[in-house]
Structure formats: C-alpha cells, structure tokens
Structure 1
Amino acid sequence: MGILSSNVIQMLLVLLLSLLLHLNPSLAYSLKNCCIEYSENPLADVSVDCSNRKLGVVPDDIPRDASSVRLYFNQLQWINRDDFGCLSELRFLDLSGNQIAHVDDGSFIHLRVLTTLKMNQNKLTKLTGNLFQGLSNLTVLGLENNNIHFIHSLAFRFLSSLQTVMLGANQLQQMSDIQPILQLPHLQNLSLRENQFTFFQSKDLLLNEPSGLKVLDVSENKFENFSITTSVFPRLEKLDLSECGQDPGLKWDVPDKRLLCNITHLYFCATLIPFQELQKVLQSLDSLMHLRLNYMEKWIKKGLLATVCEIPTLRKLDLFYNHVANLSSKLVTCSQLTHLDVSHTYMSELPKGSIGRMHQLRSLNVGTNFFTKVPDDIKNLSFLEFLSLENNLISKLGCEDFRNTTHLKELYMGNNHISNLDSCAFENLNDLKVLDMSGNLLWTFGGAFKICLQKLEFLDLSKNFVSLLDKGDFQGLRSLKYLDVASNNIRRVTHQAFDGLDNLGRLKVSLPLEFENKFRELQQLENLTVYFNIDSSFKSPHPYHNEAFYHLKSLKVFTLICEVDHFGFPLDVPMQMFQAMKHLEAFTAENVYIAAPDPSTFQSNTQLKNLTIRYTDLSGLDPELFLPIPHLQVLDLSNSKLKSLDFLIQADLSALRWLALSNNELTVINETVFQSLPALTYLDLDNNPFTCDCANAGFIQWVKNNNQTQIVNAYQYVCSFLVAEQGSKLLDFDIQSCWMDIGFLCFISSTCLVVVTLLSSFIYHFLRWQITYAFHLFLAFLYDSKKRKKGAAHCYDAFISYNVHDEDWVYKEMLPALEGEQGWKLCLHHRDFQPGKPIIDNITDAIYGSRKTICVISQRYLQSEWCSREIQMASFRLFDEQKDVLILLFLEDIPAQQLSPFYRIRKLVKRHTYLSWPQAGQHTGVFWQNVGRALQTGDAPTETADILTGPAGC
C-alpha cells in the first residue's frame, strides 16, 4: 500500500507540473545549444534560435511547446526519426545551411501543425515516398540549393495543404520529376530555378486535372524551348524566365493565347532568347500588366521597347540594370504605363518628351543614375504619386522642378549633392507625405519648410551639413509626425527651432551641448532620440543645457546617445530633466552618464517599463534608483563596469522580465540575487570574466536547474579565472566537490551545540548527582575489583570522615571512647593518610581499607567539598558491596529541608542506620555503646536494619 500511494502521489505531481507548463507556454529556461527569443507578451508563442552554433545533431532540450525553431547554418548531416518527436506544437522549422544528406522516413510525422519547412542549402539528393509523412498542414516547403535529382512519385502525397514549393538550384532534369508537385490541390507558387531542365513541355505532364499554380519561376535553366501546348496552367499569373535559354536561344512555343491567358507578370533578366521569339512572347500575352527586362540591352537597342509599348494592358515596366544610351527616348509611345523603373541605367538625362506623354504615370524610379538636375519631363507628370531620384548627382532644386506634380505623395532625394533649398522648392507639393533629403550637402533649408508641405508626415534631413537649426525652420509642417535631423555638423539650435511642429510624434536630432530650451512647443512628441555632438573642442556643457527637455510632457520613448571620440567626455544628466515626463515608458542612455544616476532620477517616471544605460561606470549604482519604477520590465546595463549584482536584492524589480548584463566585470554571482526577480524570464550575462570555482557553484546549479529564467547562451560562457580553468566552459565546472555546504555544516554544528547545551543544563539541574554517583560507582567497582583480585585485608575497623572544624570533638570525645575504651582501630586523615599521595587516592584507600566508615555530619561538614566526596565514596561502596559499611553520626540537629539539596544524605538517612549526638544528652555512654554495636555488625545487607537513634522523620 505504501508503494502504491507513493506512485499515485508521483503521478499527481507530474500531472500538476504538466498542467502548469501547459498554462504557461512561454516558460523559459537555459538551453545548452539554443536560446528562446524574448517576447514582451508573456503569452506569445515560443520561438527558439539554434542557428550558427556548429551543431552536429538536433538538440534534445528544445522546449516541447516551441512553435518556431531556427537551426540554420549548423553542421547537421542526418535527421533521425526521433529528432522532432516531442515538438507537436511546431509551426515553423528552418534547417537551411546545414549538410543534411539523409532524412529518415517519417522524421516529421509528429509535426502535424507545421506550416513552414525550410531545408535550403543542404545535401539532399532524393525525396523519398514517406519523407513528408504527417505534414498535412504544411503550406511552405523550401528545398533550394540541394542536390536533389530524384523525387518519388508519392513524395508529396501527404502535403495536402502545400501552397509554395521552392526547388531551385537542384539537379532535376525531367518534367516528370515535378508532376507529383503539380498535382497538389492548393499549389500556388513553384520555383524550379537553376535546375538541369533543357525542355519545358506541358505535354510531358500527365496531370489528372489542370494545376491551380499562379506563380512559376523557371529562371536560370538552359531551356531549348518553352512549350505550353496543353491547358495545364490555366490560372498562371506570374512567370519568371530570367537567365533562361542556351545558344542559339530559347524557343517560345505557345500556339494558343488562351493557354496563358491569365499571365500578368513576366520577368526576363539576361534571357537568351532571339529577338523575334521575344516579340512573339510579348505579342501572345493579352493580359500582361507587369514586365521586367533586366540586362536586356541588346534587344532594347534593337527596338524591343516599341513592341513593349504596344501592349495595351501593360502598366508596370522595370528596366533597371540596362546600360542603353537614349533609353528614355525609346519610351515615348509607352503612354499607358503607371509604374516605371529605370534606375541603375547609367542615364544622365531624360530628353524632353521622352516620358512627358505618360500622363497616367503614378510611380517613377530614376534613382542611382547620373542626373545633375530634376528631369524636365517630370514637370508634366501631374498624376505622379511616387518619385525616386536618390543616389544621383543633383546639386540644386529649382522652383519649377515640381511645378505640376501636385499629386506627389512620396519623394526620395537622398544621397545627392544638393547644398541649399529655395523657399519655393516644394511649394506645389500640397499632397506630399514622405520626403527624404538625407545624405545631401545641405547647409541651409532656405525657408523651404516654413509655408508649404502642409500634409507632410515624414521628413528625413539626416546626414547633411546644416550647422544651424533656426527659429521657424519647420513652422509650416503642421502635419509632420516624423522628423530626422541627426547630423554631426549641427553646432547651434536657436530658440523655437521646432516651432510649428504641433503634431510631431517622433524626432531624431543631433544637438550641441550649448543649447537652451528648444522643445517647449513639442507638446505631442512621444519618441525622441538625441545625439550629442562632442569633439575635441568640447570643454563643458552649458549650465542650462538640459532645460530643453523640461516640457516634454507627452514623451514615452526617450533615447540619449553621446557620440564621443577619443577626446570627448560623457555627459551628466540631472534628475530634473525627467520631472515633466510623467508618461515615459522607455529610456535609453548610451555613453551619457559620468557615473551612476542619482537615486531620485526617475521619481516622476512611475510608468517606466524599459530602461537602458550602457557605456557608463555603474559600479556605484544605488538600488534606490529603481524604487520609483515598480513596473520596469526591461533593464539593460551592458558595458557598465558592474562587479556585483547585490543591488538587485534591494531594488524593487518584481515585474522585471528581461535583464541584460553583458560585457561587465562580474566574476562571482550569488544565485539568491534572482529570488528578488520573480518574473524574470530572460537574462543575458555574456562576456563577463567568470570565476570557475566553488564560489559560483550555486549559480551554476541554478542556471542548470531553474525552470523559469532563460540565461541566454549560458552553456557558452567561458572561464576567465582560475588560471587552470581559463578557456573552459563555466557550466562544465564540476560542482560536486563543492557540496560540503558550509552553511549546512554550520547549521548542524550550531544545532548540535544548542542541543548539547540544553541537555547539559538539564542534566546539571536535575541529574547531576545521579551522574556523579554513577561515575564514582564505576570507579568504586574498578577499585573493588582490583582489591578483590589482590585479596587485601582491612587495615582499620573504621574510617572517620569529619570536617576540620569538628576535629576537637573527634579528638576529645570519639577517640577516647572508641580507641581508648573499646579498642577499635580508627583511620583519621591527618594521622593515617600517606604523605605525597593524591588526596582522592588516600580517601579511596582509607574507605576501602576499613571495615566501616563513620561520617561525622554537621553544618560545616555538608559545606565541605572533601567531606562531600568522602561520604559519596562511602555510599558508593555501600551500593557496590551491598554491605552495612556506613555509619552516619549527626553532631547537630539538621532539618530535613536543609538536607534536600544533599539528596544522597537525605536518602541514606531515610534508609540506613544513623546516630544523633544531640539526642544522646547526658547518656553519652549509651551513645558510644550504640556506636560500638554498629561497628560490630557483620556484612549482611542493611535495607531492614533498625534505626538505633533519632526520630523516624529525619
């Protein structure tokens, strides 16, 4: 019954643990070869990253509730049937970039909810019939860059939900190889790029019914012909024939336009196809809307664009990566286009009229070319909404450049050579929402943002040469939500520089340290990133440089980054700067603080959830810094010279879930520190100089055994100390030798000491006499045994035990009566003890050398240490020999209550013969006769002996 009950209890405990794990699917802990990706949502799916770790096998400690596992770029060679047997909740699995050459049949049978499987860049050669067994919910399968040359006819029978198959860069040669794939009921996207096909002929595909395929990529195959003569792809919309063909060129064989009647996207990139065949292709597609012609200069020069522009349905044309002189002039007749991309084409100009007729054009990309000005034809594109002129050589924007593009919504002018702006540059862009002017040579804004651009929401002016942000520079941007003016060249910011930005929500700005209050008007600002410029000319900050932040009442995200070179200094940020930021949720400071912030810094920021302080000396951190921010969830103190984590014990961080302490100076960690962090699930301690000795034994055990906190990459932590352990892994240190727990030993020792002390006190108070008697009884037994062996006879009739103060009575009364009149031989210590012999030995010899012992008891006798020992010894002999060897003679009347402390005497008085001198009165002769009669008694036991003298109550 006991064993049964124990088993039932164990089963209940296991069931309870399983329920707890099920209720908290994101339960994190340290993995040997992986890490669990942190999520702010504690109920989020568990995503595990095992990439780039030189793994030879699938780790066996991947959490069972993982929904996503990334195992790419490792050294896996073989997938076993049991590798993923416990991962029944897995939905995403990436095995790319390994050396997998074999997969056991049924290896994925337990992954019934898996939707994405990537096995790109491996060494697979064939797909067996049961390889994908169990993957009934898989929708995406990636098998690119393998050596697959054989596909079993039943390989895809289990993949009833598959929509996307990527089989590029393999060794497939026959169309029959892909027939099992095309029979998938939900297939929409198929990539067969870079295989060994030489023919693509639909007649080789013996399908039971037409495929529902919508996207087909057969690029980088050396086709001799592309033949669609049967209705196998009635729903095909996108076809990629890039880098296809071989000499003398790809032959297009689609005799009936209806066979590809739904093609809307067609891609040709460096395709080897005769000019006439390409014309045939373009003329046979009546529904084409998006055409891509990359690296097709030869046919473009020959006049291919004339055919292209005749396609009435064409709306989007990509001509990037074509080096053709006067390319734009060949587009004159393409008036039907709505999207045109001629980037990376080495153009330096667009001749007037080349695109001017494209009145329907909505998007134009002429980036990464050699334009020195905005092309004139752009002025006529009144319906243009997207324009990219980035990465050109434009040096100036004129007032007429965007005169008629009044519907423009996005304009990208980044990385040009524009040095200044006229106030009229954007005056007609009333609908513009996104403007990118980053990476130019702007040294002034020229009033371009003071009046116009009323609908602009995004403005990037970063990496320019503007040195002054002046009053009213942005006053016309009433709708602006994002502004980036970060630049190392800003030297001055005047008062009200950001006036007018009433709706600005996010600002990135570089500021000098000599600025005053600049942000008073930014009442709606929620996200602010400030880069402080410090160079060799820096001496000290302006005394009021922090007042600029005192009015940011809506701020939620605040980032301070000090860009310090080797001549610079960190800043000192006063706590007053945060007083107005009542809604602050995230604060980041990099290379900002001289030392640990004042403990009162965040006293007004009770909503703070994310705190990052890096590149600072926090060795003197006061734990009271965290007391005003009880809701803190993320704390990053990396690169901060921390030597101890004791501050975490005193800080109130009960809500903390993410803690980063990498690149510090932590050598020893007390695992009890983390008991003060009950919600912690993610801990980063990478690159600390750990000591590998017993001082870290508790931490090592905690890392291995705790089931809540994941210590990221813990199994890769390296020992820095001791010298003998340098280079070895921290978690490989043998802690078994450390488990002579000093604390436990101290507990046991102190417990034993307390128990012994209590026991000793008890014995001393209640049993001290019994213990003493027992000890001396043992000595008496040894002595008596020794005497018996020697057979020694008694030397005296009686040993007289008395106190020195009663010596006169002994000499005047006792000796004359007993020795003089009755002739007894008595032993007296002053007369008969052997000189030089230990007194205790003399007493023992005297008692055991006499037939009897007479104890002359008085008040002083009871107070004498030696007299007490003599009567104890005599009573021990009494109990040892069980003979009447003891005579008690009371010189004084002693009440019973005074005898109580002398428990043994009181007991002897009650049970043995005794005589009372005071009661003898005038009859001393009778008294001495009684004494003599007591000396004459034999060796019989005395338990029933009559009391000779004295009251029975004594």
Structure 2
Amino acid sequence: MCFIRLTSWLLHCCVFMNLVNGYSVKNCTVRGSLKYAQNINVFCNKRNLHFIARNIPDKATYLDVSDNVIQKIHQEYFSHLSNLKSFIALHNRIREVEDGAFSSLVALQELNLAFNKLTDISGGMFQDLRNLTVLHLNDNLIANINIFAFSPLISLRKVNLSRNHLKQISKVQPLFSLPQLQEVHIGSNNFSSFQTSEVVTADIFPHLDNLVLASIAENMTWDVQDRSYLQSVRHLNLSGIQLPMEKITDLLQTFSSSLASLRLHSLGDVKVKALMRNGCLISSLRFLGLQRNNITSISKDEMQFCTQLTELDLSNNGLNSVPAVISSLPGLQFLDLTFNHIKSISRVDFANLTQLRTLQMYSNYISLIEDFAFKDLKSLKTLMIGSNRLVLNGYFKKDLQKLTILDLANNKLDSVRRGDFESLKSLKNLSLPDNQISFIEAGSFDGLTNLIFLNLQSNKLSRGSIKDSVFSRLPNLKTLLLNNNYISYDNQKPLDHPPFQNLRKLKTLNIFSQGHKGMHYLPSNLFKGLRSLEELQAENLNINSLDPDTFTYTPYLWELDLSRNELLSLATRIFLPLRVLKTLHLSKVGLQSLNFLINANLSKLHLLHVSTNALSVINETLIRSLPTLIYLDLRGNYLSCDCTNAWFVNWTISSNDTEVESAYELTCNYPDKVKGHKLLDLDVDSCNVDVGFFCFISTATLVSMTLLGSFLFHFLRWQVVYAYYLLLAFLHDNKQQRKPNGLQYDAFISYNVHDELWVMRELLPQLEGEQGWKLCLHHRDFEPGKPIMDNIVNGIYSSCKTICVISHHYLESEWCSREIQVASFRLFDEKKYVLILVFLEHIPSHQLSPYYRMKRLIQKKTYLSWPEPGEDTRVFWQKLRVALENKDSSEMEHPLAGI
C-alpha cells in the first residue's frame, strides 16, 4: 500500500531542468530520420535566433537559418557537419564570417549569404570549399574582396554578387579565372567600367554560360578588346540597364557570335524597340524576353530581323490585341502573352505558327475566340488561357489534336456539356478551377481517354453534379480535384451509384473544404472503385464520424488527411484496411487519446500530424505500435507535465528514428503550477521509482511502527486507551453539530438520461407537484461551469435523501456509478437512512453480479419497485412519501439499515 501511494504521489511531482541533445533540436525542425540518413533537412528559419544551434544532427545535408538576427558566423558552428550540402543564411544581420568557418563543410555545394551586412570577403572565408557550385552574396554591403578569396572554389558554377558596393571590376577578377564558372550576376553595383584589360588573362571565361548585367549604371564603360573572351556566354540579361543606346549596342556586339538568349526587361517601350533590332541581328539568338516594358503594339519593321526566334516573352505589357507581327515568326515554339489587355483572339492571330508548342495567355480580358483561331496550331501542346472572361462556346470542338495541357482556370464557365472537348484526343491535363460550374452533363469528358489530371476545384458543384456517369469514360485519370465546391450528403448510408466507381486508376482525390457548412457525412461506399487511390485530402468537411467500412475500398492509400473535422473519437477498425498508410493528418479534430491507433496495424506509418487536439499523454504502447514513425507533430495539445509523460520525454530526446516537431516548444497544460513550462524541461529522474528500495523502506517502516506500537501498548496501555476515548468523544461531538435542517433539498435524484422521460412525467409531478418536496435534478440545479463531480457531491450532501432510479441503462452508466458511490459513502459516514433505491424494471440477480456495490445494497436494504403497466401506483407513491418523511432515523433504527 505504501508503494502504491508513493507512486501516485510521484505521478504529480514536477521538477524541471534543462536537457539539450538527441534528435530533437531546440528552435529547429528536422525533416528525415537519422536511421535513413540520405537526406536530413534542418530548418531553423524565422526563430529570432542570435546563434546557430550546436546540436544539429551530424548527418544533416541541408541547413536553413534564414530570417533570424545572426550577426557572426563562428568556426565551431559546423565542425561536425561534414555531410552538409546546402547552407542557407539569407536575411540575417551577418557582418563577419571567421576565417575557416566553413572549412569543415567539405561536401558543401550551395552557400547562400544574401541579404546580410557583409562588407569584406576575406581570404580564408571559403577555405576548403572545393565542391561548392552555387554562391549567393547578393544584397550585402560588399566593397572589398581579397584577391585569394575565390581561389578554393574550383567547382563554382554560379555566383551572384548583385546589389553590393563594388566599384572596380578588378575586385572580382579572381572570380573570372575559375575553371567551371558558368553564370555570373554582378548587376546593380557601382562599376564605372568593364575593361577586359583589368580582368582578363589567357583562356578567360571558358565555361561562362549565363551573364546578368541588369541595372548597370549609365556612367559605366564597357570595353572588351577580344570578343573571344566571352564566346561561351549563351544567356545575357540586360534588364533595367541604364547605359546609353550606343553603348548598349556596342555591348551586344561583344556577344554576337554565341548569344542564344537575351532578356530586355523593364527598359521602356521606346528603348526596348530600338534594342530589339540590334538583338535580332545576332543570328544565334533564339529567346527574346521583353517583359514589363509597357509595350502597346509592335510593328513588323521592329521585328523584321527576328524570324529566327523560337521563344518570345511579351508578358506584363499593355497589348490590346495579339500583334500582327507574331504570325510572321513561323519558327516560334514558345509564346508568352500573359498579363496584357487582350480582349479577343481572331482567326489570323496565330496563322502560320505551325511549330508553336506552348501558348500562354493567362490574365487578359479575353471573352471571344473566333472560329478557326487555332487552325494552324498543329503542334500546340500547352495552352494556358486562364484568368480571362471565357465561356465554353465550341472553342475546343475542332483542331488542337496534339494539345496535352489546357488551363481554363478563373473564367466564366457555368457548365460543361457533351462535346465541349471532343477534339482534344491527346489531352492529359485539364484545369477548370475557380469558375462557376454547377452542371456537368453526362459524357462531357467522353473521348478524353488520355486524361490523367482533372481540376474542378472552387466551383459550384453539388452532389448531383458528380454522378458516376460524369467520370465513367476516364480510364486513365490519376488526379481529381473536387475541393472547395458544395458537395454534401445527408447520411452515411451506401450510395446506389457511387460517383468514383469507374476511376480504377485514380491515385489522388481532393474533396476538402466543401461549402454550405461542409459535406456533413461520408457515405460508407463513397470511395468504392478507388482501389488504386494513394492520396486522399478530406479535411474541413464538418463530419463528426466515419463508418468503419469507409476505407475498405482503398487498400493502397498511403496519405490520408482528415484534419479540421469534429472527430472526437475514432474506432480502430476504420484504419485496419490501410496497411500501407505512410502519412496521417488528424490535426484540429478534438482527439483526447490516440489509443485507437495501437491495434490499427499501421506498421508503415512515417508521418503523424495530430497538432491542436486535446491530447495529454503519449504512452510507450502507442509509440511501439508505430515502428516506422519518423515524424510526429504534437503542437497545440494539452500535455501533462508529470510522470505519465516521463517515458515520452526520454524517448523524444534520445530517439534517432523519430523527430517530434518543435519538441522544445511543447508546453505543459497540467498541473496548474507548471502550466506554460516546457515539456522537455521535466526532470524525469524523479519519476524513476526503485521498487526494491521503496519496498525495503515501507517494510522497515511497518516493522518499526509495529515494534513502537507494541512498546507503547505494553508500557503506556492506559494512557493510550484514555487518548482513544478522548478522540471518540471529539468525533461524536463534531457529528452532533451537523444537523439536517440546514440542507437545501429534500432529495437528490440520480438517474440515467434514458430514464429522463419517466422522471419528468411521473416522479417530478408527483413529488414536487402533489407532495411538495424540493428535488435536486442535475440538468436543472447543477451550477454551470463547475466540474461535474463537484456538482454531484454538493447535490448529494445538500439533500436529505438520495433517490436512485435503477434500470439497465443506469447500471451501465459511468456517472450513475459515481453518484451511487458518493451516496453509499454518505450512508456509511452518517449512519443514517439517506439512500432510497427505486427499480424501474426487473433486473435478475445474475445481471447484477458485475455491479458489486449495487448487489450489496439490495441484499442488505429494502427497495421500491415501479409497478407493472396497468397496476395501481398509489401504494408506490405512499411508500416513497413515507421514506422521504423519515428524516431522523439512524441506520440501526431503519429497516433499510445494515450496510
């Protein structure tokens, strides 16, 4: 007994200390398992950190500390991270990097220090970074670069030094000598000139492929004495360049032998048109980017030398129609006209563009497409025409036989009819989201046998809109998006014609967030036919229960999201068919326990998201039942910081297999004295009970007390006896002071909710109405907001009697069991007749066997039985009245005494 009491006390003790090591990293999130260490990503971004955590897992390959307030990179930060391939530290306040700070990162391939406050690049900053291929130093305050700074970067291919304070091109001269360099960004600096004599040695830029000279100041001088120095440059970006026209012309001539791609963004209508002529004179040019130039029209003369182009980007301009010059570029394969003011497409706009493969016209004002407008687009595979004002008006009933991707999102479509897409035999991807589609005619998608992706989200589809005949001719469909519509069901009963029963190859289904207060119910056979389904998004549907057979039709489901539903409890049977489930989302569903997962046989589960629930304890049995778990999200729960979670705390800190999301940020909710403390600060050592030691202590104490008692009885017998009788006298006087005339009610009524009709129709009118007794009823007299158990105790001890209305339902009720327990304790304590048993129905003795306390009561005390139907009830009410009037009888005087 001593051991049990001591253990009970230890379950509520909480002593706190700091713990810092293991898989969980304070202020960071780890993605990936140390057990399978191919890719371990650590995210410490947006945490207001002043320093980089010292216990980053040794096997980490990616580390992001962006958006913090770090000011200095110290040498010891990375001494153990020899596997790190990417380090991202942009948007901090880094002013200094110690020499050799990155020297341990021998596998590093990407280093991003952009948007910081670096002013100097020292000679030892990049020491031993032989495998680095990408370096971002843009948006700093760099004015000086040591001549030896870039020497170790023998594998560097891309470097960005834009928007710094560099004034002399010679500062970056060592950079240009790197053997693998392909892409350089040096725009928006303060260079006054670019003269090859300052930077060039033999064999300069042998692999330079991409050069960005955006936003160069107008006073800069460009002087390249030998064009062969830049012969490998194929991609040139002159966006926002401020040089005079003649200087830009000279600059372009430097690349005339090799250039394939030219970007002339944000230069203005006049300037860019002048440059187009010069750019198109480069015979090797294939891509021309003209974004954000306020172009309203383009004449044939302005692009007469551009016939060699295969890609043209005219997005983000002011075009009111498709320029007529487009049809004179027969070699075009890619055309971007997004974000203009085009209102219609005529039948000659795309004439002769037989090689065009991608046409983007997103975000215009197109409301009309003339017949035969797509007649010559025989090679078109991608048509992006969303965010316009189109309705389906036979535009796709002919032509475009090779089209594979069609995007009609955010238009004015209100229905889909049979034949609307009949000519698109090759279509694989059809996107119709953000329209007003409320009706889909049966057979609308007939003929689209190659369709694998169908997006119908954010429309006005209802249950009647998605009949099985709508999807009956899509044998290869793999992704169906129906979220954010108005689909709902009245119950869980099986559907006569489940809508997805013909989609045997479907792998992804989204039905989340249905309007008009959600879907309400999931019919038990809604997913019938989806035997290949792998991913189901069903969050925010306002469903509060699931039929146990819901997922019997989806045995290969590996990701399931049921978040933001009121699923207060779930049955184990629901998950038994999901033998390959890997990801389970149950956030914001009101769960109080995860015990339903213990026997669900989810042996393949990797990720479990159960944030923002009412979970208090995570036990060892649950974790052991999920042997492959690598990620657990418990944020926003009501965790107990006592010994019930001691095992979980130890496991969280020491496990190399599973990461607990933001483990060091998990807070206590119970007991009150530690509310708000961190869970991992729990001192679990105080919970480790040494059974042998405490048994020894308890046995020694018992023996000592026995010896002491024997000693006192032998030598101080009469003094002990005298003290005993004094104590009895005190207790007797104390009980005499408790009188019943101060009680609030005549009787407390204990009953089950299934018997409430009898209480309200029979008992209450008779006892309160005719006999005048004052009764205490839980639904009427309990104090709102007060714990239920406190209300029960107060109600029983504030009443002269307790009347228990016994039925089969009563015996099975947990709360009724507690009420009769309290009444029995009062009976034992006060030794008075305070308990009246009323049986509403006959209950055989063998059925009472499991209810030990009830059986003892009826064996030792008389009770009342409600008469059978048709019998006179007056005798019953008279006996009950007598029992209530008898307020002063003691236990020994009353026939019901004897417990």
TM-score, scaled relative to structure 1: 0.65
1:497 Cα offset (Å): 2.0
Q: CA, structure 1 residues 251+331, in 2 after alignment: closer, same or farther (shift >3 Å)?
A: same
- In 2, distance between residues paired with 1:158 and 1:284? 30
Q: CA, structure 1 residues 391+156, in 2 after alignment: closer, same or farther (shift >3 Å)?
A: closer
* Matching residue within 645, 659, 663 for 1:710: 659
Max Rg structure:
1
* Matching residue within 292, 296, 300 for 2:263: 292
* Matching residue within 155, 180, 185 for 1:186: 180
* Matching residue within 37, 44, 47 for 1:50: 44
Q: Deviations over 1:209-261 (max 9, x none)?
A: 4433544xxxxxxxxxxxxxxxxxxxxx5444332234xx3334345545545
| Structure 2 counterpart of 1:492 | 439
- In 2, distance between residues paired with 1:404 and 1:39? 55
Deviates more, 1:117-126 or 1:371-380: 371-380
- In 2, distance between residues paired with 1:499 and 1:551? 13
1:307 Cα offset (Å): 4.2
Counterpart contact for 1:513–1:533, Cα < 8 Å? no
- In 1, distance between residues paired with 2:34 and 2:79? 29
| Structure 2 counterpart of 1:476 | 423
Counterpart contact for 1:95–1:120, Cα < 8 Å? yes
| Structure 2 counterpart of 1:100 | 94
| Structure 1 counterpart of 2:362 | 414
> What SS does the corresponding residue of 2:87 show, helix, strand or coil?
strand
- In 1, distance between residues paired with 2:368 and 2:495? 32
* Matching residue within 312, 317, 341 for 1:364: 312
Deviates more, 1:606-615 or 1:259-268: 259-268
| Structure 2 counterpart of 1:70 | 64
- In 2, distance between residues paired with 1:586 and 1:485? 21
Is 1:675 matched up with 2:624? yes
CA RMSD of aligned residues (A): 3.6
Give the AA of the match of 1:622.
A
Unaligned stretches of 5+ residues in structure 2: 1-20, 704-709, 715-899
Q: Deviations over 1:720-768 (max 9, x none)?
A: 4444444433323444544458xx5999599989x99xxxxxxxxxxxx
Q: CA, structure 1 residues 682+127, in 2 after alignment: closer, same or farther (shift >3 Å)?
A: same
Q: CA, structure 1 residues 552+325, in 2 after alignment: closer, same or farther (shift >3 Å)?
A: closer
Give the percent of matched residue pairs that are identical in Structure 1 and Structure 2: 35
| Structure 1 counterpart of 2:474 | 522
* Matching residue within 213, 216, 233 for 1:244: 216
Give the AA of the match of 2:95.
A
Counterpart contact for 2:183–2:210, Cα < 8 Å? no
| Structure 2 counterpart of 1:226 | none
| Structure 2 counterpart of 1:24 | none
* Matching residue within 498, 503, 514 for 1:563: 514
| Structure 1 counterpart of 2:223 | 253
Is 1:453 matched up with 2:446? no
Q: CA, structure 1 residues 317+76, in 2 after alignment: closer, same or farther (shift >3 Å)?
A: same
Q: CA, structure 1 residues 751+432, in 2 after alignment: closer, same or farther (shift >3 Å)?
A: farther
Deviates more, 1:381-390 or 1:418-427: 418-427
1:446 Cα offset (Å): 1.9
- In 1, distance between residues paired with 2:479 and 2:172? 52
Give the AA of the match of 1:526.
K
| Structure 1 counterpart of 2:127 | 133
Counterpart contact for 1:661–1:685, Cα < 8 Å? yes
| Structure 2 counterpart of 1:552 | 503
Q: CA, structure 1 residues 374+114, in 2 after alignment: closer, same or farther (shift >3 Å)?
A: closer
Q: Deviations over 1:663-703 (max 9, x none)?
A: 22223333431111011011111222334444433332322
Give the AA of the match of 2:223.
D
> What SS does the corresponding residue of 1:533 show, helix, strand or coil?
coil
Counterpart contact for 1:315–1:336, Cα < 8 Å? no
Give the AA of the match of 1:389.
L
Give the AA of the match of 1:513.
R
Q: CA, structure 1 residues 127+569, in 2 after alignment: closer, same or farther (shift >3 Å)?
A: closer
- In 2, distance between residues paired with 1:320 and 1:608? 44
Give the AA of the match of 1:491.
S
TM-score, scaled relative to structure 2: 0.68
Counterpart contact for 1:187–1:211, Cα < 8 Å? no
Q: Aligned pair count?
A: 678
Give the AA of the match of 2:626.
L
| Structure 2 counterpart of 1:319 | 290
Counterpart contact for 1:423–1:449, Cα < 8 Å? no
Q: CA, structure 1 residues 630+456, in 2 after alignment: closer, same or farther (shift >3 Å)?
A: same
1:424 Cα offset (Å): 4.1
Map residues 659-674 of structure 1 onto 2, 5 A cutoff: 659-674=608-623
Counterpart contact for 2:451–2:477, Cα < 8 Å? yes
Q: Deviations over 1:253-280 (max 9, x none)?
A: 3455455455544433343333333333
Counterpart contact for 1:691–1:722, Cα < 8 Å? yes
- In 2, distance between residues paired with 1:286 and 1:402? 30
| Structure 2 counterpart of 1:268 | 238
Q: CA, structure 1 residues 676+140, in 2 after alignment: closer, same or farther (shift >3 Å)?
A: same
- In 1, distance between residues paired with 2:294 and 2:484? 44
- In 2, distance between residues paired with 1:541 and 1:645? 24
- In 2, distance between residues paired with 1:260 and 1:746? 82
1:616 Cα offset (Å): 1.1
Give the AA of the match of 1:446.
N
| Structure 1 counterpart of 2:802 | none
Q: CA, structure 1 residues 285+75, in 2 after alignment: closer, same or farther (shift >3 Å)?
A: closer
- In 1, distance between residues paired with 2:621 and 2:184? 55
| Structure 2 counterpart of 1:699 | 648
Q: CA, structure 1 residues 597+748, in 2 after alignment: closer, same or farther (shift >3 Å)?
A: farther
Unaligned stretches of 5+ residues in structure 1: 1-26, 216-236, 339-361, 757-774, 780-954
Is 1:512 matched up with 2:462? yes
- In 2, distance between residues paired with 1:675 and 1:289? 59
Give the AA of the match of 2:175.
I
Map residues 871-910 of structure 1 onto 2, 5 A cutoff: none
- In 2, distance between residues paired with 1:552 and 1:648? 30
Is 1:85 matched up with 2:79? yes
Give the AA of the match of 2:54.
D
Counterpart contact for 2:308–2:331, Cα < 8 Å? no
Is 1:212 matched up with 2:205? yes
Q: Deviations over 1:748-797 (max 9, x none)?
A: 599989x99xxxxxxxxxxxxxxxxxx9xxx9xxxxxxxxxxxxxxxxxx
Q: CA, structure 1 residues 602+302, in 2 after alignment: closer, same or farther (shift >3 Å)?
A: closer
1:599 Cα offset (Å): 1.5
Counterpart contact for 2:47–2:67, Cα < 8 Å? yes
Q: CA, structure 1 residues 674+503, in 2 after alignment: closer, same or farther (shift >3 Å)?
A: same
Counterpart contact for 1:484–1:508, Cα < 8 Å? yes
Q: Deviations over 1:136-156 (max 9, x none)?
A: 222223333333333333333
> What SS does the corresponding residue of 1:587 show, helix, strand or coil?
strand
| Structure 1 counterpart of 2:581 | 632
* Matching residue within 528, 532, 539 for 1:590: 539
Q: CA, structure 1 residues 32+520, in 2 after alignment: closer, same or farther (shift >3 Å)?
A: same
1:107 Cα offset (Å): 2.4
| Structure 2 counterpart of 1:345 | none
- In 2, distance between residues paired with 1:492 and 1:437? 21
Q: CA, structure 1 residues 69+458, in 2 after alignment: closer, same or farther (shift >3 Å)?
A: same
- In 1, distance between residues paired with 2:148 and 2:312? 48
Q: Deviations over 1:16-49 (max 9, x none)?
A: xxxxxxxxxxx99322222222489956322222
- In 2, distance between residues paired with 1:585 and 1:301? 50
> What SS does the corresponding residue of 1:33 show, helix, strand or coil?
coil
> What SS does the corresponding residue of 1:549 show, helix, strand or coil?
coil
* Matching residue within 282, 296, 299 for 1:328: 299
Give the AA of the match of 2:499.
A
Is 1:34 matched up with 2:24? no
- In 2, distance between residues paired with 1:751 and 1:509? 71
Q: CA, structure 1 residues 554+375, in 2 after alignment: closer, same or farther (shift >3 Å)?
A: same
